[in-house]
Structure 1
Amino acid sequence: MYDLIIVGAGPAGLTCAIYAGRKKLNCLLVTGPNIGGETNTTVDIQNYPGYEGSGAELMQKFSASARKWGCEFLEQFVAKITKPKEFVVELDDGKKLDAKAVILCYGRQRRKLGVPGEDRFFGRGLSTCATCDAPLFPNKDVAVIGGGNSAVEGALELARIAKKVYLVHRRDQFRADEVTVETARKNPRIELVLSSVPVEI
């Protein structure tokens, strides 16, 4: 039986693993396929004091620290959690693990638009990770949909490679950090398309 099972290996899950290890808890981190989570897609971390570099590099440091403190890593998905007496964590392969405590740190996933054509073109020019797929679009016109940090940072990353980037947002103001929005506004390759909603791809 584990003292603690942590579900999710983004910054929160990895930090939990570090603290659990330092407390000498028998700890398991169920990571899924993506250790580091969404932070891996951030090209330039600007809001973590004392650190300059990519999100992927920072998450490698978090992961190394969690391993150093003895937390076990398991690259699988959790299918179900029950608590008949102690916690029972059932993995996607049917295996069951017992734990005294469970911490859920599964973060979020990028949303789809839910418009016609989206499924048809997904993976064929349509992506949910501008940072990951930017190299596929040299000297092309591209669009990024959204108004948060991921969308604006994605547009900035694409602007290094693409000919033109349309940053489409349903509102007239962005949720993203103002410093990031200002950088996008000043970029001659980025055109803001505000108060607009895609209806079909």
Structure 2
Amino acid sequence: MINIAIIGGGPAGLSAGLYATRGGIKDVVLFEKGMPGGQITGSSEIENYPGIKEIKSGLDFMEPWQEQCFRFGLKHEMAIVNQITKNGAHFTIHHDGGKTTEAKSVILATGGSPKRTGIAGESELWGKGVSTCATCDGFFYKGKEVAVIGGGDTAVEEAIYLTKMCSKVYLIHRRDTFRAAPITLEHAKSNDKIEFLTPFSPIEVKGDQSGVTGLVIEHSQTKQRQELSVPGVFIFVGYDVNTQVLRQDDGSMLCACDEYNSVIVDLSMKTNVPGLFAAGDIRINAPKQVVCAAGDGAAAALQAIAYLDSLH
């Protein structure tokens, strides 16, 4: 029986491990099938983390986290977690191969990933002008024109955000109507830096060794194509949270989730199941920033410590 099982080894999971073990908790195990670090290790540049003045790649940025977070006794088990169940007061972590681990509490920090459009050039130019984070990458396009793909709240909100530094934002949606909230859409339509291109579908991201050079779009009805000369393409067509491990044998979720399967937590990262906490991109209203994920992990660990104390 371990005290805390941390599922996921990104910034949220590592921070949770650091705060839990430094807080004096023994038998804290981080379950991560590969080397810890999370999807941020795939970022080419990070320059907005407080206290880090050098621009670093995600891989270089996360390297010292591992050493620091394991310094106080955090254990790493390279295993794929398939399911988390709870019987009575204790949780069961189900691994591949039929192995199980019992835990008094669980911090879920499995993150998620932005959906891709699947169009030509997207994968090849990912991180080289194709982005899913305006907060992270918008600064690189100061005074330039960019394209935003999507029709939901996130796409419209990020388009508005990008107008703070970009000279023009093309908002591309395959339909004439948007899923975004009416008030958000109204703000976007009143912003003279945003040009709505509807109904248009993205066809291809063009680029060279220096990165993105343009985006080919096609009118959904006339099939007429045009190319936008933009160095940046931001894609907001949805986000998949990795909460599959919460699904029970009867199809229900172990804890309360919203319609997108993001875990519902309070400000302390508590779920509605005692002893179960969620941190980082899998929780509702996650800002999807490293600094926020790290804070979530710390908060979840502190609450897990308090929960374990309450069991005595």
Q: Give TM-score scaled by structure 1 length.
A: 0.66
Q: Who is 1:37 aligned against?
A: 38
Query: Per-residue deviation at 1:194?
Result: 2.2
Kept in 1: contact 2:3–2:104 (CA 8 A) = yes
Q: How many residues are treated as equivalent by the alignment?
A: 168
Aligned equivalent of 1:48: 49
Answer yes or no: is the 8 Å Cα contact 1:40–1:55 preserved in 2: yes
RMSD (CA atoms): 3.5
TM-aligned CA deviation for residue 181 of structure 1: 6.8
Residue 91 of structure 2: aligned partner: 87
Matched, 1:98 2:102: yes
Pick aligned residue for 2:171 from 194, 197, 200: 194
Q: Deviations over 1:45-76 (max 9, x none)?
A: 23322113333222111111122111111222
Q: Aligned partners of 1:127, 1:108: CA distance in 2, in Å?
A: 18
Report the counterpart of residue 126 of structure 2 in structure 1.
130
1:169 to 1:34, Cα distance in 2 relative to 1, 3 A: farther
Paired amino acid for 1:4: I
1:76 aligns with 2:79: yes
Corresponding residue number in structure 1 for 2:158: 175
Match for 1:127: what amino acid?
S
> In the aligned structure 2, how far is the partner of 1:177 from the partner of 1:34?
37
Q: Percent identity?
A: 27
Contact 1:78 1:89 in 2 (8 A): yes
Deviations 1:62-92 (A, max 9, x none): 1111221111112222101111131110012
Aligned residues of 1:145 and 1:168 also touching (Cα < 8 A): no
- Distance 1:176-1:58 versus aligned 2 partners, 3 A rule: farther
Rounded Cα–Cα distance in structure 1 between residues aligned with 2:100 and 2:109: 19
Q: 1:14 Cα deviation (Å)? A: 0.2
1:82-132: per-residue Cα shift (whole Å, max 9, x none)? 11131110012221011111110111112133xxxx39x7xxx5429823x
The higher-RCO structure (CA 8 Å, 6+ apart) is 2
Q: Which whole-Å CA distance do the structure 2 matches of 1:193 and 1:176 have between them?
A: 8
CA distance in 2 between partners of 1:20 and 1:58 (Å): 22
Q: CA deviation at 1:30?
A: 0.7
Structure 2 spans left out of the alignment, 5+ residues: 175-200, 205-312
Superposed CA offset, 1:113-165 (max 9, x none): 3xxxx39x7xxx5429823xx5xxxxxxxx73756446758xx59xxxxxxx9
State the match for 1:138 in structure 2: none
Larger Rg: 2
Segments of 5+ residues of structure 1 without an aligned counterpart are 135-142, 158-164
- 2:63 equivalent to 1:67: no
SS state of the match for residue 44, structure 1?
coil
Query: Conserved in 2, the CA contact under 8 Å of 1:170 and 1:194?
Result: yes
Q: Pick the structure with more strand per residue.
A: 2
- Report the alpha carbon displacement of residue 25 of structure 1 after superposing the two structures with TM: 2.0
Distance 1:110 1:129, change over 3 A: farther
Contact 1:8 1:29 in 2 (8 A): yes
User: Contact 2:83–2:94 at 8 Å: present in 1 too?
Assistant: yes
**Relative to structure 1, is the Cα distance of residues 76 and 129 closer, same or farther in structure 2, using a 3 angstrom cutoff?**
farther
1:24 offset after TM fit, Å? Answer: 3.5
The answer on whether the counterparts of 2:81 and 2:95 sit within 8 Å (CA) in structure 1 is yes
Q: Mean alpha-carbon deviation: is it higher for 70-79 or for 40-49?
A: 40-49
Whole-Å Cα distance in 2 between the matches of residues 148 and 168 of structure 1?
10
Structure 2 CA distance for partners of 1:103 and 1:75, relative to 1, 3 Å? same
